[in-house]
Amino acid sequence: MSEFALEWRSVSFSVPHGFWMRPKTIIRGLDLAVAPGSAVGLVGPNGAGKTTTLKLGAGLIRPGSGKVLINGQPAMKSQSRRRLGLLTETQYVYPHLRLKEWLAMAAALSGWKGSECRKRVDDVLQRMELTGQADQVMRTLSKGQTQRAGLAQALVHEPDILLLDEPMSGLDPFWRFKVQQMLMQYKASGGTLFFSSHILSDVERISDQVALISDGAIRWQGALSDMPRRLTGYEVRCRAENPSVLEKFAQNSRVELQTDGACLLSVDPEQKEALLNACAAGHVSIESLMPIRPQIEEVLFEFNLLSGEKD
Amino acid sequence: MSGLAWIQLRAIAVNVWRASARDRILLILWATALLFIFFSLVLAKMVVGSEEMALQTTGFWIMGIWGLISVLYLGSNIVRQEIYQKTIYFVLSRPVHRTTFLLGKFFGMIIVLASLFVILALCWLFILLSKGVPLNAGHFVTLAFIFGEWVLLASFSLFFAAFTSPLLHNFFLVGLGFLGHWSRDLYLFSQNAHSAIAKTLLSVIYHVLPNLDALNFRQAALYNEPIGAGLIMLAGGVLLAWMLTALVGANLIFSRRKLL
């Protein structure tokens, strides 16, 4: 048994481009590993290579160099994909098929037949609240329903590894929440999750680790708590007999007076000590003090800038 | 082949069947074939000579040509559409080997073609019987080999579909269909040609293309001539060998095909 559920080892991939079909590199020397039972979110700007990385992981495309492994076996080997579920960003549906026929086909392709196959289809339809659409031709489903159907086909054979490309795309807030819950449940039951997303709050909520991809290479991978998010200050809610004393602690000397008489201000890290001393001296009464760190989007932006400079 | 591969093969073939059964153009194509079969009754009245002979010849011709038309329609998009619409990702992200995918497509085509063939053949036989045409063993052997030709065309269709565009696929398949029936003539031309280039070219075409006339027993059926078991075996062998060659070729190309 391999140490990793999914592994990309120095993977490169290029596509023929232009009239002379010159190779254009999409993925360059990508190294990434996903441990069994973990959830890794792949984050990066458009064209960074997220979808290609997922396609490589699902064994749909052959790497130009390097290796892609599923449980230690080459992803291109059909048997490696037995316990793998893939949700592509756009659902590639057969327009002539009804939803339940499509799901039955998905289950059959994973080796299920007869009553067990029907049971799984009914079960997954129920979970995704699509039972009412079971006999509907796929091209007549709405965008959100198609996305849910996509998740249903990825889950119908109860895979151990789920690869999801923008799983929340096209979902309304209710279903975004429900899918989040499902994915968290899936992870809690021991499943391995690897997904790409533009919605960084989803990444923050679902994943244990984040991999930042830019220009076809992983720029950073680690736990969100390890992400280098430097402290930019503190948000302080406090009370003072004379609010003007707070101005010397506040960034840009801005103190917001709240309706309940409390003051709200941002404090530079260097000013924290002085504020606490004022509190100890009884001039200020602090109700809350919260560190301000850049949003994950800002960190990502910085990473992109850095990688751009590097290249 | 493992149990899993059989389940997958069935699922892919059933999908081809469903796509065809719900395709209005294909249904119109089938209805036209039936119309032609019944129209042969009118045609037979118009020809000079035996009405019985005309009925049989027209029927054989319609079945022969409709096989080619159906395979052209089914095969031109059978792989291309999967790649173009990216539905192939849905299939290949599961434990499906590319060979299984291709064979599933092939068997799906065979099921569709067999359905059309059975309908056409039954209608044609009904017309012959209603007109009092005596049937002989040759009729059934001929019918079997007309269907064999459909299957052979389907396997070549898959071979062309594995690497070309629908337009080129159709061009190659029509060429194969017609030149395959003129194979003997090509051989004779090559023997009598004065130019060395023409001689070589015709000879190469003769050897490269399957000899579809080797599967043609229409004359024997029309004139109630006995067909030897050896000849049937030989024709069956030729059919099987060409079919396997096309399928192996298709598999070799498709297995190496790069998806984007």
Domain ranges across chain B: 3-256
Interface with chain A: mutation pick from B90, B98, B99, highest number of A CBs within 10 Å: B90
Name the amino acid, one letter, at B109. M
Q: Is residue A107 part of a domain?
A: yes
Q: Is residue A304 part of a domain?
A: no
Per-position DSSP letters for B80-149, written without gaps between them: HHHHHTTHHHHHHTSS--HHHHHHHHHHHHHHHHHHHHHHHHHHHHHHHHHTTPPP-HHHHHHHHHHHHH
Cα A89 to the chain's mean position, in Å?
13
Verify that A48 and A117 share a domain, yes or no.
yes
Say if residue A310's pLDDT is above 50. no
Nearby residues of B70 by Cβ (< 8 Å), 6 or more positions away: B26, B29, B30, B112, B113, B116, B150
**Token code pair at residue A231:** 């402290």
Closest CA to A266 of A242, A232, A310: A232
Residue A148, exposed/middle/buried by CB under 10 A (0-12, 13-18, 19+)? buried
Angle between helices A173-188 and A143-155 (to 10 degrees): 10
Beta bridge partners of A86: A163
Question: In this predicted structure, what is the pLDDT of residue A243?
Answer: 82
Interface with chain B: mutation pick from A56, A68, A78, A135, highest number of B CBs within 10 Å: A78
Q: Name chain B contacts of A161, Cβ cutoff 8 Å.
A: none
Per-position DSSP letters for A257-275, written without gaps between them: EPTTS-EEEEE-GGGHHHH
Closest CA to A44 of A270, A214, A166, A231: A214
Verify that A209 and A281 share a domain, yes or no.
no
Question: In this predicted structure, what is the pLDDT of residue A61?
Answer: 93
Task: Give the Cα separation of B244 and B250 in Å (integer).
Answer: 10
**Token code pair at residue B99:** 């060979």
8 Å CB contact between B75 and B109: yes
Determine the structural domain holding residue A132 and report its residue range.
Answer: 6-226
**Token code pair at residue A288:** 């809350």
Verify that A15 and A82 share a domain, yes or no.
yes
Verify that A122 and A253 share a domain, yes or no.
no
Q: Is residue A56 part of a domain?
A: yes
Name the amino acid, one letter, at A39. A
- Looking from the CA of A4 toward its CB, the CA atoms found within 13 Å total 18
The nearest CA of chain A is from the CA of B114 a distance in Å of 21
B93 touching chain A per CB within 8 A: yes
Confidence band, pLDDT 50/70/90 cuts, at residue A309: very low
Task: Give the Cα separation of B57 and B77 in Å (integer).
Answer: 31
**Can you tell me whether residue A43 is helix, strand or coil?**
strand
Q: Name chain B contacts of A111, Cβ cutoff 8 Å.
A: 3-4, 7-8, 95
Confidence band, pLDDT 50/70/90 cuts, at residue A303: low
pLDDT in tens, chain B (260 residues): 678 999 999 999 999 999 999 999 999 999 999 999 999 888 888 887 788 888 999 999 999 999 999 999 999 888 888 888 889 999 999 999 999 999 999 999 999 999 999 999 999 999 999 998 999 999 999 999 999 999 999 999 999 999 999 999 999 999 999 999 888 888 888 888 888 898 888 888 888 888 898 899 999 999 989 999 999 999 999 999 999 999 999 999 999 888 87
Question: In this predicted structure, what is the pLDDT of residue A311?
Answer: 42
pLDDT, tens digit (0-9, with 9 covering 90-100), for A248-267: 888 777 888 888 889 999 99
Nearby residues of A9 by Cβ (< 8 Å), 6 or more positions away: A31, A66, A67, A68, A69
Question: In this predicted structure, what is the pLDDT of residue B187?
Answer: 84
Say if residue A300's pLDDT is above 80. no
The reply to whether residue B89 touches residue A92, judged by beta carbons under 8 angstroms, is yes
The reply to whether residue A113 touches residue B7, judged by beta carbons under 8 angstroms, is yes
**Token code pair at residue A274:** 């002085």
8 Å CB contact between B100 and B8: yes
Cα-only R_g, chain A: 25
The nearest CA of chain B is from the CA of A61 a distance in Å of 6
Helix, strand, coil shares, percent, chain A, to 5:
40, 30, 30
Verify that A195 and A220 share a domain, yes or no.
yes
Chain A contacts to B (CB-CB under 8 A): 15, 55, 58-62, 78-82, 84, 86, 88, 90, 92-94, 96-97, 101, 104-106, 108-113, 153, 157
The reply to whether residue B93 touches residue A113, judged by beta carbons under 8 angstroms, is no
Nearby residues of A79 by Cβ (< 8 Å), 6 or more positions away: A73, B95
Cα-only R_g, chain B: 20
The 8 Å CB, 24+ separation contacts for B227-231 are: B227/B137, B227/B138, B227/B141
Say if residue A301's pLDDT is above 70. no
Name the amino acid, one letter, at B130. S
Q: Name chain A contacts of B97, Cβ cutoff 8 Å.
A: 78
Return mean pLDDT, chain A: 89
Q: Which residue, A226, A249, A266, sits at the end of a domain?
A: A226
ipTM: 0.85
- Residues in B 6-45 with any Cβ partner in A closer than 8 A: 7-8, 10-12, 14-15, 18-19, 22-23
- Closest-CA residue in chain B for A86? B93
Number of domains in chain A: 2
Task: Give the Cα separation of A114 and A121 in Å (integer).
Answer: 11
Verify that A144 and A239 share a domain, yes or no.
no
pLDDT, tens digit (0-9, with 9 covering 90-100), for A74-130: 999 999 999 999 999 888 889 889 999 999 999 999 999 999 999 999 999 999 999
Verify that A77 and A44 share a domain, yes or no.
yes
Q: Is residue A308 part of a domain?
A: no
Question: In this predicted structure, what is the pLDDT of residue A144?
Answer: 92
How far does chain B reach from its first CA to its final CA, in angstroms?
Answer: 28
Q: Name chain A contacts of B255, Cβ cutoff 8 Å.
A: none
pLDDT, tens digit (0-9, with 9 covering 90-100), for A30-85: 999 999 999 999 988 888 899 999 999 999 999 999 999 999 999 999 999 999 99
Task: Give the Cα separation of B70 and B15 in Å (integer).
Answer: 17
Verify that A255 and A124 share a domain, yes or no.
no
The nearest CA of chain B is from the CA of A124 a distance in Å of 17
Verify that A143 and A274 share a domain, yes or no.
no
Q: Is residue A298 part of a domain?
A: no
Q: Name chain A contacts of B92, Cβ cutoff 8 Å.
A: 59-60
Confidence band, pLDDT 50/70/90 cuts, at residue A161: very high
**Token code pair at residue A57:** 């992981």
Task: Give the Cα separation of B187 and A62 in Å (integer).
Answer: 44
- Residues in B 48-87 with any Cβ partner in A closer than 8 A: 85-87
Q: Is residue A305 part of a domain?
A: no
Nearby residues of A88 by Cβ (< 8 Å), 6 or more positions away: A51, A54, A150, A165, B86, B89, B90
Task: Give the Cα separation of A91 and A85 in Å (integer).
Answer: 13
Residue A81: which of B88, B90, B94 has the nearest Cβ? Answer: B94
The reply to whether residue B95 touches residue A78, judged by beta carbons under 8 angstroms, is yes
**Can you tell me whether residue B244 is helix, strand or coil?**
helix
The H or E element spanning position A192 is: strand A192-196
The reply to whether residue B95 touches residue A80, judged by beta carbons under 8 angstroms, is yes
8 Å CB contact between A161 and A4: no
Verify that A106 and A129 share a domain, yes or no.
yes
Say if residue A285's pLDDT is above 50. yes
Verify that A49 and A29 share a domain, yes or no.
yes
Q: Is residue A306 part of a domain?
A: no
Compute the residue count for chain B: 260
Verify that A168 and A83 share a domain, yes or no.
yes
The reply to whether residue B15 touches residue A61, judged by beta carbons under 8 angstroms, is no
- State mean pLDDT over A189-200: 89
Chains A, B: CB pairs < 8 Å: 79
Percent of chain A with pLDDT over 70: 95
Q: What CA–CA distances, in Å, run from B179 to A295, B59, B183, B207? A: 69, 21, 6, 11
Interface with chain A: mutation pick from B22, B94, B98, highest number of A CBs within 10 Å: B94
B251 touching chain A per CB within 8 A: no
Instruction: CATH number of the domain at A66, please.
Output: 3.40.50.300
Instruction: CATH number of the domain at A278, please.
Output: 3.30.70
- State mean pLDDT over A176-185: 93
